[in-house]
Amino acid sequence: MPFDVFISYAHKDRKLRDELAVHLGNLRNQQVISDWYDGDLIPGTEWEQDILEHLRTARIILLLISAHFMASSFCQDIEMQEAIARHQARQARVIPILLRPTDWQDAPFAKLQVLPSHGKPVSRWPTHDDAFADVIKGIRRAIEDLNASVSPHQTRSHPRSQPVEHSRQHLASWSATPRLERPVPPQPVLYRS
């Protein structure tokens, strides 16, 4: 059974998220992972509820870190807070991926091992392909570690966890903000071989 992967990112980083999705293709094709991001939202569904449902059931959560991510209220107050709470409860593994240089000192994820190696942002590598190849190696190591920690009586998929109380409060305050300030989910990108 593949690991459910949730990708949290700022919409201004969509291009790099799309590049990462291509590099995740081998893991996806081998059915090691099943990845989801808000571009997979189905038209006509309640987007906040769908995002939170996928976030609360993912076993691996990728935080795509950039200045845009750090400035996004939704990424910070909803997605990252829920992700860190689930990580601390050992319900999910959170993996921060540095896309671009930014100040992330004392951020809730700062105590976690980041990717790519040595905390070098994707944008600073000779090519993005080099950086994302390194990221995929790190994700594979995390998956091996998660597989090793699962006892024979456990399964990889965890039952839907209960929402964390502070996330409910953030969601309530987020829901009270005017509709114009909320992120607009992007349309899905179709890849052709």
% of the chain beyond a pLDDT of 90: 64
78: in domain: yes
Q: What is the pLDDT of residues 12-70, one digit of tens each?
A: 999 999 999 999 999 999 999 988 877 765 677 677 788 888 899 999 999 999 999 99
Query: Beta strand pairing status for 3-8 and 33-36?
Result: parallel
Q: What's the confidence (pLDDT) of residue 36?
A: 81
188: in domain: no
- Mean per-residue pLDDT, 96-123: 96
The domain in which residue 14 lies consists of 3-178
Q: What's the confidence (pLDDT) of residue 157?
A: 45
Does the pLDDT value for residue 180 go beyond 50? no
184: in domain: no
Helix (H) or strand (E) holding 17: helix 14-23
> Which residues are bridge partners to 96 per DSSP?
63
Helix, strand, or coil here: 135? helix
Answer with the residue of higher pLDDT: 177 or 125.
Answer: 125
The number of distinct structural domains making up the chain is 1
Angle at 13 between CA 173 and CA 93, to 5 degrees: 70
- Mean per-residue pLDDT, 139-159: 72
16: in domain: yes
Burial class of 186 by CB neighbour count within 10 A (0 to 12, 13 to 18, 19+):
middle
189: in domain: no
Confidence bin at 150 (pLDDT 50/70/90): low
183: in domain: no
53: in domain: yes
Across all residues in the chain, what is the average pLDDT? 81
Q: What is the CATH number of the domain that holds 167?
A: 3.40.50.10140
